[in-house]
Structure 1
């Protein structure tokens, strides 16, 4: 098990109807724990249905998360899970995956600095809360930037001097709803952090 260099070297794991997984690169049957190790190693792989060829990677990774949570790891807090479920069939549904991906990428880049910061703050609950709040503020800034990418009228995306142009830039109902949801999320974070 190791990192692959390019897409042509990606590991293909076939999933059979009996739920068995078969790693074609090693010609052996494997378990979900094996797939979890591939993820931790940063290996490039896909899981496909052995019969149809349908990509099942998302559902297998979701299953791994479900099993980790069922074991009591509880990486995903209950309020987060509830909020995530609420975004299904919501006007922001298309923004959420990009936001979560960008947030996790930024988190991964800052991982070592955060470990040091949190390790230093373990002696003080207030220092730990301050470090958490700072990271939350950064995440909210990233969310604002993500929202700007999807709506050119936020933050001066279009410029024209006449009154007709400014009238055309009035907030749409969807934008108002997005701002209200963003304000609600900020209020929840402030409440959770004790502000």
Structure 2
């Protein structure tokens, strides 16, 4: 991303075409994905209303990438994300954002390696990373459950009665 260039403006027209005002050309979602990869600063706006459509376009790019090749998000993972919308939405958003930043930081700390070298390195690390991530997920789950149990101690807190009933049923099973 260059400090001397202003944010690149991409306009989306009613015919669904995207127009890059910097290059005066029509662009595709693949072109916008390249801007993301190259860390180019941009904003997508509705040509008629000026409404910011950047998030919507980024979600389209993710959806397209998920359809091609091996997806990042399994159906179970997507269901879990959907379940988090509501009271825990901010917490999950922060968690995911911080996790992605951590991976990017690790990649940056290892130096500027070629994509192939990084892929080779990571493929060798997958079993170890899966174990570490599994442990991390389990610890996060326990933290979440402990927090839920803590809130269950306060009568009148939403979900407190439901958690207490669930805990009692679990105790009855053992």
TM-score (norm: length of structure 1): 0.62
Alignment of 1:6-155 (within 5 A): 9-89=6-86, 91-111=87-107, 118-121=122-125, 128-138=126-136
Q: Deviations over 1:137-189 (max 9, x none)?
A: 45676x69xx8xxxxxx8xxxxxxxxxxxxxxx93346987xx8xxxxxxxxx
Distance of aligned partners of 1:70 and 1:117 in 2 relative to their CA distance in 1, 3 Å threshold: closer
Moved >6 Å (runs of 4+): 174-177
Secondary structure of the residue aligned to 1:63 is helix
CA distance in 2, matches of 1:137, 1:100: 16
Quote the Cα distance in structure 1 between the aligned partners of 2:101 and 2:159. Answer: 28
Tell me whether 1:5 sits opposite 2:3 in the alignment: yes
Q: Distance in 2 between matches of 1:98 and 1:117?
A: 27
Aligned length: 145
Structure number with greater CO (CA < 8 Å, separation at least 6) is 1
Structure 1 residues 60, 133: CA separation in 2 closer, same or farther (over 3 Å shift)? same
- Measured in 2, the distance between the counterparts of 1:92 and 1:129 equals 30
Q: 1:70 & 1:171 partners in 2: Cα distance?
A: 41
CA RMSD of aligned residues (A): 3.2
Gaps of 5+ in 1: 122-127, 148-153, 155-169, 181-195
Contact 1:10 1:45 in 2 (8 A): yes
Using a 3 Å threshold, how does the CA distance of structure 1 residues 11 and 76 change in structure 2: closer, same or farther? same
TM-score (norm 2): 0.68
